[in-house]
């Protein structure tokens, strides 16, 4: 297995943008990471680079595909429910990945976490060369057909220092251990000002 190589945060965003630009369209890029790693923020940084380089882009936050509170909290807040009941991965597959590729459209949000109601989002049109970034926790190992996968990985120590919802930590660590799928680009993200990468 190749070692990690140091890289600046800007160079990392440029690298991911270059990898995304090289994908035949339409394409979907996963940015997998715990909430405390801010995968959505990183995805938006990369996506913002693409239009000037000739590719339209968009970002979908996994938390906009969260399940209703009545379902995700039915058995409380614990490791198992966070892994299995919190996020609507099938809905994400249907309304983003499949819709983009088969119908050239995508739905940016399905459920509003703050109001616990339908997001009532409008379906957006896509062009044949659109690149969408899907960002959030535990995206790998869900059978989702991404064209490129990036993981912003935090060590257990970093997770325990920075996570505001402690019940999610063991779920994230177990999912990592139990998921054989490896990202195309693995980022050591403990220190965002000096990340390191391992790329296939």
79-109 pLDDT, tens digit per residue, is 888 998 999 999 999 999 999 999 999 999 9
Q: What is the pLDDT of residue 79?
A: 80
Residue 179's SS3 state is: coil
Token pair 């019940």 is found at: 167
Q: What is the pLDDT of residue 3?
A: 82
The string of pLDDT tens digits covering residues 32-51 is 999 999 999 999 999 999 99
| pLDDT bucket at 1, cuts 50 / 70 / 90 | low
| Measured distance CA(102)–CA(52) in Å, rounded | 26
Domain 1-26+39-133: assigned CATH number: 3.40.50.300
- Among candidate residues 113, 135, 139, the one with its CA nearest the CA of residue 38: 135
Structure tokens at 55: 């590719």
Question: Which is more confidently placed, 76 or 171?
Answer: 171
Per-domain residue ranges for the chain?
1-26+39-133
Query: CB of 30 within 8 A of CB of 148?
Result: yes
End-to-end CA distance of the chain: 10
- Sequence-distant (6+) residues with CB within 8 A of 95 are 65, 106, 107, 110
pTM (2 d.p.): 0.94
Task: Write the Ramachandran bin of 154: left for phi over 0, alpha for psi from -120 to 50, otherwise beta.
Answer: beta
Determine the length of the chain.
200
Structure tokens at 48: 């913002």
């Amino acid at each position: 297995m190749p070692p990690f190589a140091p890289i600046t945060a800007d160079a990392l965003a440029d690298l991911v943008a270059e990898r995304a630009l090289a994908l035949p369209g339409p394409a979907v890029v996963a940015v997998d990471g715990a909430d405390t790693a801010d995968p959505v923020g990183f995805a938006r940084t990369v996506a913002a680079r693409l239009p000037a380089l000739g590719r339209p882009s968009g970002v979908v936050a996994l938390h906009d595909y969260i399940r209703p509170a009545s379902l995700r909290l039915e058995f409380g807040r614990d490791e198992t429910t966070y892994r299995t009941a919190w996020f609507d991965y099938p809905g994400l597959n249907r309304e983003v990945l499949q819709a983009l590729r088969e119908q050239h459209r995508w739905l940016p949000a399905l459920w509003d976490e703050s109001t616990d109601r339908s997001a009532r989002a409008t379906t957006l049109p896509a062009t044949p060369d659109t690149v969408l970034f899907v960002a959030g926790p535990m995206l790998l190992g869900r059978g989702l057909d991404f064209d490129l996968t990036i993981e912003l990985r935090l060590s257990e120590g970093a997770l325990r220092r920075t996570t505001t919802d402690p019940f999610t930590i063991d779920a994230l660590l177990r999912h990592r251990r139990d998921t054989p799928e490896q990202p195309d680009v693995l980022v050591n993200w403990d220190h965002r000002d000096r990340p390191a990468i391992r790329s296939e």
